[in-house]
Amino acid sequence: MRNKYIFILTITIVSSFFLSLASEGFKEMKRKNVEIDKKKNILSAIGVAIDSFSVDDIDEYFQSNIDSLIINTDGLVVDKISIEDLNEVENKSTGEVRYFYENKEFLPLYVETNENVIIMPISGKGLWSSLFGYFALDADNYSTVKGITFYAHAETPGLGAEISKKWFQDNFVNKEIYENDNLKSIAVAKGKADENSKYEVDGISGATITSNGVTTLLSRDLKRYEPYFYKNRR
């Protein structure tokens, strides 16, 4: 009888050990998948064709061409903090994500050095969910839009979920966020945009609240980065 209990105890200990190893392995795998997904969306925001990219290709492109910066709310680059140090805090009501380190707010920024483009995380509220994406600007003038992507939301398929579709995101390319020296941002129209406007894109039929959410989050998040734009605009 005693040998029976020793055997059961041994099996339990060994099983727990291997389950622990598997859990740690899956945790690292999940972390890597999240990291790669973030990199893929950053690259998508600047128009990099990643469909044929392997994980190694994405890592290599990122390491060779993307610099990660942290700026403070005055628009100054901070050298002693990395993006990994930042604590993300989401406002569940507005969908806005803000970034903190030691109770001070900072802003993450990515720079594509080959094409001279900056990429910012954007977030806000749609109809049913928070919207998360990236927004890219030409770093020569900090005004011309190079791309936008939305990668996480729970909006209605065929309606608000169209923000993830290429047709909607392509609307933003080559639009402008500055009118002379005034930050104007970009509005999502209700229906068709004025084809002569640099500051408006086509809306999504039947998805007014989601469209308004995109307009609101862009205006708000770009305003947060404006001190950096102001210090670097040519």
pLDDT score for 171:
95
Average pLDDT per 10 consecutive residues for the chain, totaling 234 residues: 60 62 57 78 87 88 92 94 93 94 95 93 94 95 95 87 93 95 94 92 93 96 96 82
pLDDT score for 35:
79
pTM, full prediction? 0.84
Alpha carbon dihedral 161, 162, 166, 167, in 10-degree steps, equals: -170
* 58 phi and psi angles, rounded to 5 deg: -65, -45
Nearest partner of 95 among 122, 135, 134, judged by Cα: 122
pLDDT score for 38:
87
pLDDT score for 177:
97
Q: How far apart (Å, rounded) are the C-alpha atoms in residues 131 and 125?
A: 6
Structure tokens given for 104: 């001070």
User: Strands, DSSP E only, in 8-103?
Assistant: 66-72, 87-90, 97-101
Amino acid (one-letter) located at 36? I
